[in-house]
Structures are given as structure tokens and as C-alpha cells.
Chains A and B, each alone.
Chain A
Amino acid sequence: MKNRVVVTGLGICAPNGVTLSDFTKTLQRGTSGISFQQELKELNFGCQVAGKPSLKPGYVNKYFTPLQLRGLNASGLVYGVIAGTDAWNDAGLSKAEEDEPDWDSGIIFGTGILGVDKFRESIHLVDAGNTKRLGSTSVIQTMASGISAYLGGILGSGNQVTTNSSACTTGTEGVIMAYDRIQSGKAKRILTGSCSDSGPYVWGGFDAMRILPRKYNDSPSAASRPLSASASGFVPGSGAGALVLESLQSAKQRGAKIYAEVLGGAINSGGQRGGGSMTAPNSMSVRRCIKMALNNSGIVSKDIEAINGHLTATGKDPVEVLNWSQALERSGLDFPYINSFKGIMGHGLAAAGSMECVAAVLQFKEGQIFGNVNIEALHPEIEKLVDISRVPIKTIDFKPKTIAKASFGFGDVNACVIFKTFKN
């Protein structure tokens, strides 16, 4: 007997909002979280706009002890702890007692690279022959699993505590990993999510690859243009999203609120074959991943009412829409609603999947499909596939029953998760 799995808590620390209510409002209104970054200008970046969570001075004090704050220089870790702690509280859960961990709760919290600024600090000290001055915080802030380790200690989790890493697929992959673990009875609750650092050392490599937009340094909110004819690259982002996944039984016993059910999902790779590469997805494997997710969820194509795509605003958006259309065998007016949240948050890289899963699930709560921004004209290749009415440019009132959310990452890796409105 497999356990049903539901979402009982959400947390966010995103460029467009660091609380659930602000995040929801910006999604409803299409308010951009992308801003000009003086630092990038001074460093001669081509793209000088980015998505970075805005934290008021002292905001972190309620999440970290004074001791933890000493020498803390790992932005992704800060975002992850904020989102993770908030999700746990949102689920109505408390921290484990001092003497014994909560054996039934685990953490699967991913990242791409953690504590880049801390690592830079350490490199300078080491190169100066001053290794002794690194102190005790250099390792824990720069190890990839630092984020799950911090959250595990704060909450007192006694189940699996780990960090997954699969580039821009990370957050969505984590949801499916958490789902699998709860479904199989190995945990009752998993706090899953992902985080990504801000700053030039994370974003520089993408600027060098010339895949970031360069024409919008004076108009940041117009820079990220998923699905649009004038899309010219993804806007680098950062932040964290977190979800508490829980067995339905446990949620019911606690009388927890339920945002949605996780019906199932799929993870695969294109093997960098058949047109796939380190940086581009193999379309066959994308379609296969979507179909496997439907199959795993026990639903058919026509059940999908909304898609939240990966849709980064590079030239690959039309290919992604074509893959959805072929995998679902749906097009034109029959195509589900489709949106991308990257228009207002930018591409959160390792954090993208989790921030977008949080947003996708909020659509159930609000009974809305959040609108796309910056589409003055739909990309002509996309318009051939999908009726324009299926790509809302304003938030619409529509209660979706089933939402498919996919993320694709460097390394030719894919994840697709299916969320459903909860019915007993």
C-alpha cells in the first residue's frame, strides 16, 4: 500500500518576495523582482540585471543565532534557511525536542554550489598562507550539503538529511525524491527545496556563455521575456523555495492544512545523446519524462489543465513548448494553460525548480493561473502550436485541478512533477 503524499507547508525567499503573501501578490500582479545590479556593471558584465531576494537589515536575526551569524557569508544558505524554516512553520510543525530528533522527518534540500562568497574569502586567506584564519565556518558554509545540514540542526530532523544537485532541475527533482521517500513509507515528512547563491561569481559563467540578455540594463523588469518573440536570454536569479511534503495520513492526524496532493512525477536524462548536450536537452527524453510523469501519477494527458514550464527566455522556449505539445498530444485551443514565472523572478538556477513549485502550488490556493509578463508578441513558433488564449498575459481566475511542472538542467537532466488539487 503506497502512501498518498500532500503538500502541507510552503516557504519562499525569492527576488519577487520573501514572504508567501508578498510572493503571491507579485505573481498575481506580475510585479518584477528583477533589478539593476551596480556590482555587475562595475565588473563589466554584459548583463547587469538579476533577480536577488531583498532582505531588510536584521531580517535574518529571527532565523539564525548570533553565533551562526558570525562570519556568515553564504547567501544561498541564508535564503535556504529562511525558506525552509518558514515552510516548516507554515505547516504548523515545531522543532524537535532538545534530547531526541524527530525520526520521522527528513530534509532533501538541494543546491548547485553553496557559499561562493565564503569560498572566495577562504581562497584569499589560503593563498596568503593564512589558512589558520579560516575558522570553523568555512567548511560548513561551503559544503554543498551545508544547507540541509543547517536546516537539519535547526529543526532536529532525524530522518534522511541530504542535498541533491542537478543544476536547474534540482528543486523539482527534490520534490519527486521527497515524494518517493514518503510514498514508500521511509519518512512521514520531508522538507524539500533548493537554494542558489546571488552574485557575480555564480552568474559570471553564464554571462561568459553569452546566454544572458544584454539590452535591458536600463529596463530590468523588461529583461526576462519567456515565450516572447523578443526573448533574448535568461536573467540570472537566486533565492530559495521550500515545500513540506507529508503523508496524507500524517497530515490528517495533525489536522494540517493541505495545499495540494503530489500525484507523482518522473526524473530522467537525455544522456547527452540524440541532440542533447551538456547544455541542451534531448527532446525525446523531455517528452518521455512528461509521459512517464503522467503514467506514474495515474492520469492521462487531457487531465492536465495547466503547465508551469521551465521556459527560461532563451531561444529554446519554442522547443520546450513543442515537446509539451507532442508529449501531451495537445495543441491550439486544446492546449493547457501555460506560464513561466521566470518573467518576474529571473532564472533561479538551482533554486528555480523549488521557487516555481511553490508558485505553482499557490495557484491552487488562489484559484488562479498567474499571468506571464513581457509577452507583447508570442514567439511565432509557439503561436503555431498553442492558441494565444492559453498563454495568459494577466492572472486569470481559474481553478486548476491538475498542474504539471517541469524543470530541465545542464547535463541534460529532466524532472516533471504532477500536482493535484486535494480531494479526500
Chain B
Amino acid sequence: MEEANYYQQLKGIVKPYLPEDVTVDDISPESHFINELNINSANLVDIVLDVEDAFNITLENDDMDQMQTVNDAMAIIDKKRSSK
């Protein structure tokens, strides 16, 4: 239940960072932020900050390194929220 919720929220967060040739419908749980969604690596930094704000969590440098795909992000969010 929570997972589906995270997924919709994440799509909303990622949407403004998508380049013109990628739409929100192209996002799937398996999408790689940089390689598939063509998000520029500088903007991935901003996505992390938006995720922190939206889910009220703090991501460490290791978490950021591991956050390559939408699934990765959901797993990290889940881990952080459950350990709170």
C-alpha cells in the first residue's frame, strides 16, 4: 500500500526534472534516473533534496550513491521511514 503511494509521489517529484523528450508516462519502477529518464546528474541532487522534504527523511551520501533507479529510491525511502 505504502509502496504505491511512494511511487505516485516520486513521479510527481521527478516530473519537473524530465527533459522535453521524456514524459511522466515513461517513468516505470525500473527506470534508471540518468540512463533512461535522461535526468542530468546535477538535477539528481535536487531530486534527493525534494525526496528528503517530501518524506521527511535525511539521505546520506551512501544512500544518494545507491539511488540509481526509481525502485532504489522507493527502497531507500521505505528503509528510512521504517527506521524512524
Q: Which A residues have a C-beta under 8 Å from some C-beta of B? A: 66-67, 70-71, 132-133, 135-137
Total residues of chain B contacting the partner, CB 8 A:
8
Q: Please, which residues of chain A bring their CB within 8 A of the CB of B17?
A: 67
Interface membership of chain B positions 45-61, coded 1 if the CB is closer than 8 angstroms to chain A and 0 otherwise: 11001000000000001
Q: When the two chains form the complex, which single residue of A66, A67, A135 contacts B49, counting CB atoms closer than 8 Å?
A: A135
17 A-B pairs in the complex with CB atoms less than 8 angstroms apart: A66-B16, A67-B16, A67-B17, A67-B43, A70-B16, A70-B46, A71-B46, A132-B61, A133-B49, A135-B45, A135-B46, A135-B49, A136-B42, A136-B43, A136-B45, A136-B46, A137-B46
- Chain A residues, Cβ within 8 Å of B46: 70-71, 135-137
Provide the bound-state CA to CA distance between A71 and B53, in Å.
Answer: 14
Question: Smallest Cβ distance from B64 to chain A, in angstroms?
Answer: 9
Query: Which DSSP category, helix, strand, loop or mixed, fits chain B's interface?
Result: helix
Nearest-neighbor residue (CB-CB) of A136 within chain B = B42
**Complex: chain A residue closest to B20, CB-CB:** A98
**Chain A residues within 8 Å of B16, by CB:** 66-67, 70
Closest to A137 in B: B46
Q: Which residues of A lie under 8 Å from residue B43 when comparing CB positions?
A: 67, 136
Q: Which residue from chain B places its CB closest to the CB of A98 in the assembled complex?
A: B20
Please name all residues of chain A whose beta carbon is closer than 8 Å to the beta carbon of B49 when the two chains form the complex.
133, 135
Cα-based distance from A67 to B17 in the complex (angstroms): 7
Contacts of B61 in A (CB 8 A): 132
Complex Cα gap A136–B40 (Å)? 10
A132 to B57, alpha carbons, bound, how many Å?
Answer: 14
Question: Which B residues are CB-close (under 8 A) to A70?
Answer: 16, 46
Chain B residues closer than 8 Å to A133, beta-carbon distance = 49
- B48 CB → nearest A CB, Å: 8
CA distance A178 to B42 in the complex (A): 32
Q: How far is the CA of A70 from the CA of B46 in the complex (A)?
A: 10
Chain B residues, Cβ within 8 Å of A67 = 16-17, 43
In the complex, A135→B40 CA distance in Å? 13
A135–B45 CA distance with the chains assembled, in angstroms: 6
Distance in Å: Cβ of A200 to nearest Cβ of chain B: 27
Per-residue 0/1 for B11-42: is the Cβ within 8 Å of any A Cβ (1 yes, 0 no)?
A: 00000110000000000000000000000001
> Across the interface, which residues of B come within 8 angstroms of A137, CB to CB?
46
Contacts of A136 in B (CB 8 A): 42-43, 45-46
Least CB distance, B79 to chain A, in whole angstroms: 18
CA A66 to CA B61, docked complex, whole Å: 27
How far apart are B11's CB and chain A's nearest CB, in angstroms? 16
Nearest CB of chain B from residue A382's CB, rounded to whole Å: 53
A137 to B46, CA, bound (A): 8
Distance (whole angstroms) from the CB of A85 to the closest CB of chain B: 18
Complex CA distance for A50 and B26, rounded to whole angstroms: 49
CA distance A133 to B43 in the complex (A): 13
Give the residue among A71, A132, A137 with the most B Cβ atoms within 10 A: A132
Q: A70-B46, A136-B46 are in contact. List 15 more A-B contacts (CB 8 A).
A: A66-B16, A67-B16, A67-B17, A67-B43, A70-B16, A71-B46, A132-B61, A133-B49, A135-B45, A135-B46, A135-B49, A136-B42, A136-B43, A136-B45, A137-B46
In the assembly, what is the distance between CA of A135 and CA of B48, in Å? 9
CA–CA, A70 to B49, complex, Å?
12
C-alpha gap A304/B16 in the complex (Å)? 53
Which 9 pairs across A and B sit closest by C-beta, in order of nearness?
A136-B42, A136-B45, A135-B46, A67-B16, A136-B46, A135-B49, A66-B16, A135-B45, A136-B43
B40 closest partner in A (C-beta)? A136
Q: From residue B76, how far is it (CB to closest CB) to chain A in Å? A: 15
The chain A residue sitting closest to B61, CB to CB, is: A132
CA separation between A132 and B49, bound complex, in Å? 9
A183 to B42, CA, bound (A): 38
Report the bound CA distance from A32 to B45 in whole Å: 44
Residue of A nearest to B58 (CB): A132
**In the complex, what residue of chain B is closest to A133 when comparing beta carbons?**
B49
A67, B13: Cα distance in complex, Å: 11
Residues of chain A within 8 A (CB-CB) of B42 are 136
When distances are taken between beta carbons in the complex, the residues of chain B under 8 Å from A132 are 61
CA distance A372 to B78 in the complex (A): 66
Distance in Å: Cβ of A396 to nearest Cβ of chain B: 50
Q: Shortest distance in angstroms between A129's beta carbon and chain B's nearest beta carbon? A: 12
